[in-house]
Amino acid sequence: MKINKQNQGFALVEVIIGISILVVIFMAVSQLLFMSLRSTQITLQSFQAYKFAEEGIELTRAIRDSNWRRNIAWDGNVKNVPGVVENFSEDGFYTVSFDSNNQILMTFRGVEGDWNINKDEICLYQHKIGTNSIIANHVIDLDNPLPFSRLVEIKRLDPYKVAVRSLVSWEDYKIGRQTMELKTELTDWKGGAL
């Protein structure tokens, strides 16, 4: 009897080699996918940090403009005026958030430190420490702060100009501590209160 060589199956060695090639291809594709997701996460964190830093600069600019509209000193450097909470008259670090009337509030912190940003249910960002609280009728979840911390540094350059530096930092589990920094200068181009 003759054996028909066309009906023979694959040898065990051929099957093992085929499976090994498929495993190597699968591992390469999964590694590529993982690196792509990680790159997207880093880009998203950098973008969020940039937006928080930009918001710090813009809120400081809004305080200057608001002070002009209320006919007070551009940096809010006034004494014994009720209701004036918007100021950046001292050199140092500030947090920027909102008070109970949804007004911008710069709080002088003096020195650099970590001030986590918390988000309420309508996406206003607050700097608060303690348990959950209600500010401006919005619930703020302090148990789950965002991984970002923001400080705005004010440094007076002369009586009519300040340097503003918005610092946002966050912890990345692989890279470590990351920082985003934006700088600008604000001036009293109007020449003070009317």
pLDDT band at 143 (very low <50, low <70, confident <90, very high): low
**Are the C-beta atoms of 104 and 168 separated by less than 8 Å?**
no
Whether 166 and 56 have beta carbons less than 8 Å apart is answered as yes
- Closest to 159 in 3D by CA, of 184, 183, 187, 185: 187
Using alpha carbons, list the distances in angstroms from residue 27 to 19, 35, 57: 12, 12, 45
How many residues would you count in the chain?
Answer: 194
Q: How far is CA 104 from CA 10, 39, 163, in A?
A: 75, 35, 19
Examine the pLDDT at 147 and tell me if it is beyond 50: yes
pLDDT digits over 59-75, tens only? 888 888 877 777 777 77
| 62 strand-pairing partners | none
Q: Extract the tokens encoding 100.
A: 């109970």
pLDDT at 35: 93
Structure tokens at 172: 């990345």
**Taking a C-beta distance cutoff of 8 angstroms, is the pair 78, 72 a contact?**
yes
pTM of the model as a whole = 0.69
Cβ count near 14 (within 10 Å): 10
Give pLDDT tens digits for 15-32: 899 999 999 999 999 999
Report the pLDDT averaged over residues 146-168: 87
- Average of per-residue pLDDT across 97-126: 62
Q: Does the pLDDT of residue 82 top 70, yes or no?
A: no
Q: Give the start-to-end residue ranges of the domains of the chain.
A: 12-187
